[in-house]
Amino acid sequence: MMSFSKSIAFVMIVGLLAPADASAQQAKENLAKADSLYEVGQKKKARNLYERAANEGSADAHFALAYKYPLSKQQRIDHFATAAKEGHGEALEKVLDELLFRANGLTEVEPQRALDLYCKAKKANPNLNLFNEQQTAKTLKQSALTADFNAQHFIDKYDVTKSEADSPWKLAEEASCPGGRFGKPDPKVVLALVVRGGFAPAARMAAVDSVYQHYQNGIVKPFNICDYVTSGYGMSFCASRDNKEDSSLRQARLDSLKTGMHTSTADLVQKAYDLSAAFIEAKAEREEQHGGSGRGAWIIQSEMKQKHAFLSLIDSVQHGFKPSPDQIFKQADKQLNQTYQKAQQVLSKEDQPFQYFTKPKDLRAVQRLWIPYRDTAAAAFHQINPEVDLSVWKAWLTERRINQLREIPGME
């Protein structure tokens, strides 16, 4: 038989649980009503009920508010964080992205808070599973080692600009090399900068893990953004940077090729290269139909490859290359016009599949750039190697253009 004191304690416990159970039930009902209203487009009324359910302790309501409504960044993070603490898996994924994996900026990343939320979520819901969780947890722990990094102090000390603060991986590249404004490379500073930057979660995980190993060994190795980028934006960034460096190399190569030429010939070769570059850039962007997230990178890579090929052609002409076109220029030019007209018809079809990015106006713009390129290149090659008639060079270049047009999908 229960004693009087135990009876009183039992009654008190039941009394405490009852309001909590009632509140949970009320939250559940408000959440269901909010979902129904949201589905029929009554989003304002739904929001009021989501807020009510959130105040009553519903993790799902907190998630809904952050996911479905335009909130400030801090409000969004707070709602996701509250839900994550209750073991809400989707909310945890979102808040980890907000605080670390998709955050980018010296003052935007909160590695310790991200790790704490992960631990609380797992404690509240041991069955919670994240995608690639083992690596996620590893990166969270590695990143939290830089929680004491004072971003504002770093910005003030080194006069870091706003644009630089928004690009921590560029700062990491600079900090990992001696002789810069940051002085002797510091393993922990480099790790802190890498933790606070990145283009995508997978890239950040790989970069943090690699630099963490150096940090553990007390060493610094030059950090290169382009060793880790996987996103389309990152690929475009690296391709643009490569192109900028390659541009100087191409000009140096061209200057070397012009060495010993008569001034008029050298000037004509330079003009031919400039016109070829304009044609190649238009062709890569408007005719070659690159698509997908890496479009920008693939365009730049194609441009670099073709520009170097033109320099190699100049070199070959200097060493005696003589083309052997299948037709005389008049015939080749006629065939080019026929091929061009067919390409225009193909690109004008209304039932084109999605991969057709080129429009008739694009092809027309490219072709207009190709004509002065052809004429100037032929003239330059003829001056370099007068043994080959000008019309032969024009016929050979024209046949090359015909083959390029035939590569347009639908021209088979």
Q: What is d(CA 400, CA 15) in angstroms, rounded to the nearest whole number?
A: 88
207 and 220 housed in the same domain: yes
With bands split at pLDDT 50, 70 and 90, how would you rate the model's confidence at 410?
confident
64 and 200 housed in the same domain: no
With bands split at pLDDT 50, 70 and 90, how would you rate the model's confidence at 14?
very low
Find the length of the chain. Answer: 412
Q: How many distinct structural domains can be found in the chain?
A: 3
Task: Using CB atoms within 10 Å of the CB of residue 255, give its burial: 0 to 12 exposed, 13 to 18 middle, 19+ buried.
Answer: exposed
Domain carrying residue 343 = 232-406
384 and 262 housed in the same domain: yes
> At residue 10, does pLDDT exceed 90?
no
158 and 123 housed in the same domain: no
Q: What is d(CA 298, CA 410) in angstroms, rounded to the nearest whole number?
A: 21
pLDDT of residue 15: 47
Q: Which of 84-93, 203-212, 314-323, 351-360 has the lowest mean pLDDT?
A: 351-360
The answer to whether residues 65 and 78 touch, using CB atoms and an 8 Å cutoff, is no
Q: What is d(CA 393, CA 160) in angstroms, rounded to the nearest whole number?
A: 55
102 and 175 housed in the same domain: no
236 and 223 housed in the same domain: no
Q: Looking at the domain assignment, is residue 13 inside a domain?
A: no
274 and 352 housed in the same domain: yes
3-class DSSP assignment, residue 150 = coil
> At residue 133, does pLDDT exceed 60?
yes
Q: What is d(CA 411, CA 401) in angstroms, rounded to the nearest whole number?
A: 14
Q: Looking at the domain assignment, is residue 104 inside a domain?
A: yes
Q: Looking at the domain assignment, is residue 265 inside a domain?
A: yes
371 and 241 housed in the same domain: yes
* Backbone CA torsion sign across 263, 265, 269, 271: positive
- Other CB atoms within a 10 A radius of the CB of residue 193 amount to 28
The answer to whether residues 366 and 279 touch, using CB atoms and an 8 Å cutoff, is yes
Q: Give 270-294 pLDDT, tens digit per residue.
A: 999 999 999 999 999 999 988 887 8
pLDDT of residue 115: 98
Could you give the count of Cα atoms lying within 13 Å of 334 in the half-sphere of its Cβ?
A: 5
Q: What is d(CA 54, CA 119) in angstroms, rounded to the nearest whole number?
A: 22
Return the structure tokens found at 129: 């599973």
With bands split at pLDDT 50, 70 and 90, how would you rate the model's confidence at 352?
low
Instruction: List C-alpha distances in Å: 108 to 37, 168, 255.
Output: 35, 11, 46
Domain boundary pick from 132, 167, 196: 132
Domain boundary pick from 105, 132, 159: 132
270 and 185 housed in the same domain: no
Residue 193: name the closest of 102, 112, 105, 96 by CA.
Answer: 105
Instruction: List C-alpha distances in Å: 3 to 7, 8, 10, 14, 149.
Output: 6, 9, 11, 16, 58
80 and 27 housed in the same domain: yes
Q: Looking at the domain assignment, is residue 4 inside a domain?
A: no
pLDDT of residue 198: 86
Q: Give 66-106 pLDDT, tens digit per residue.
A: 999 999 999 999 999 999 999 999 999 999 999 999 999 99
Q: Looking at the domain assignment, is residue 3 inside a domain?
A: no
Tally helices (H) and strands (E) across the chain.
18, 0
Q: Looking at the domain assignment, is residue 65 inside a domain?
A: yes
397 and 256 housed in the same domain: yes
- 340 Cβ neighbours under 8 A, 6+ residues apart: 363, 367, 405
95 and 73 housed in the same domain: yes
CATH of the domain at 50: 1.25.40.10
Mean pLDDT (the chain, rounded): 91
Q: Looking at the domain assignment, is residue 8 inside a domain?
A: no
Q: Looking at the domain assignment, is residue 367 inside a domain?
A: yes
- What is the average per-residue pLDDT within 223-243? 85
The secondary structure of 14-41 as a DSSP string is HHHHHHHHHHHHHHHHHHHHHHHHHHTT
> At residue 252, does pLDDT exceed 90?
yes
Domain boundary pick from 173, 201, 227: 227
